[in-house]
Amino acid sequence: MSKRILICNRGEIAIRIAKAVKELGYTAVGFWTDNEQEPPHLEYCDEWVYLQGSNNSETYLNISKIVDLAVEHKIDGVHPGYGFLAENTVFAQELNKKDIVFIGPHAKAIELMGDKAVSKKIAKKAGVPVIPGSTGEVETVEEAKKIASDIKYPVLLKAVAGGGGKGMRVCNDEVELEKNFEAVKREALSSFGNPGMLVEKFIVNPHHIEVQVLADKKGNVFHCFERECSIQRRHQKIIEEAPSPFIGSNEELRKNICETAVNLAKEVGYDSAGTVEFVMGEDYSFYFLEMNTRIQVEHPITEEITGIDLVVNMIKAAFGEDLDINHQAEIELHGHAIECRVCAEDPLTMLPAPGKISSLDFILPQSVRFDHCLYNGFEIKPDFDPMVGKLIAKGFNRSAAIKKLNYALDVLFIDGIKTNIGLHKIILKEQNFLSGTYSTNYIATVEPMSEIDSLKSDNDLIKKAVALELKFNRESL
């Protein structure tokens, strides 16, 4: 019997979910709002629902309004995507009260893993290594000083709730700790409504490694290998790849970190797609960071190297259906995939740069996927995240993936707005990236933005050549 799935999101992830819903033979229902009256994802949906409101608080973050609409339109399940209400325990609970399936893990898992202090305790119980530091929320600066003295500087002050790089400050000594303590509390309260924080040992030159897990409601938990997410700005990822070039051919380490993620998921009875994030030191020791109880932005690179449709299986798991896989051994790693997040932002300052697209053109090479929500005339508004698309290249090996991605970046033209495409071009040709030895300090130490100006003349020539080629090809058809 066909199910009606409400997509409680927008942009490229709403398009991605709509495709998965329709592949399963279900009805995809999408939102439009006063702030986006003709959002591109509706083209992929079977039905449109009006979510009244002109800002996120009135629309995508309004739990009661969304639940009422779901009931009114006889919705069977709601997929939250990522961001907005994707990891909101109350939202999942309110839907369940109305016998509507929340397409994600059970509410208790969201609650437990959404609190960094609680999740750290659960990780310890599951035998998962955790970063040395506080075992719970730190209430006073004196308590923070004591912990920092025990674990030695540098330390990281980190908000208990939230993510995205907010509510985080590195402190190299006691003076910096005193200076940053209240600032982190204020930022945490402002961003997440919770001033609680942790004090942790700061790992120097760390690698951000995450493991994709997939679980059903029958007790089966699988891993789909790891992703390297160490190219970041302001603690936010911009390039991800799978598998991790830092782990490389160390299959024992790969098995260890992946099985550790599975053990943590089993500890909370996890039953959906999710990601266990780790920080890995230069000595290959790794520690639990957090668990994201939702689909990740970078899920496509895992899909490319495993052939598993994570969104389809996430929906199946939510309704208690069998997954496409029965045994861990069925999940094999093939090739290498890299994703560049295409953002409407200044490539020098890396700050959001909203605007209207005046021209969009691309002819992508084979094995390159562009998950996006763009069209000529599309307006990127400051109300939403600046990411507008994801360019994903799959190759037989890492070198082949990089070559394909370089080609794809050269033929992706988005005019009318500033984007970080130029920054990606520089990074993909930079020696530290090519060698796979980069850490989360990459942007700060390599400073690829300094070479942005050198791309302008080359870009103009490439653009003119491709435009002529496109014109010739169209006229000859």
Annotated catalytic residues are 294
Q: Are 85 and 107 in contact (CB under 8 A)?
A: no
Give the DSSP letter string of 44-93.
G-SEEEE---SSTTTTTT-HHHHHHHHHHTT-SEEE--SSTTTT-HHHHH
Q: Are 147 and 168 in contact (CB under 8 A)?
A: no
List Cβ neighbours of 328 (8 Å cut-off, separation of 6 or more): 222, 223
SS3 labels along 333-384: CCCEEEEEEEECECCCCCCECCEECCEEECCCCCCEEEEECCCCCCEECCCC
Q: How far apart are the first and last CA of the chain?
A: 44
Return the structure tokens found at 432. 């530290």
What distance lies between CA 10 and its chain's CA centroid?
15
Q: Compute φ and ψ for 255, nearest 5 degrees.
A: -60, -40
Q: Which residue has the tokens 């509410």?
A: 107
Q: What angle do CA 169, 194, 81 make, to 5 degrees?
A: 90
Interhelix angle 174-192/141-151, nearest 10 degrees: 120
Q: Are 365 and 404 in contact (CB under 8 A)?
A: yes
Q: What is d(CA 301, CA 298) in angstroms, rounded to the nearest whole number? A: 6
Strands 413-415 and 207-215, by their bridges, are unpaired
Q: Is 435 exposed, middle or buried (0-12, 13-18, 19+ CB in 10 A)?
A: exposed
Q: Is residue 451 helix, strand or coil?
A: helix
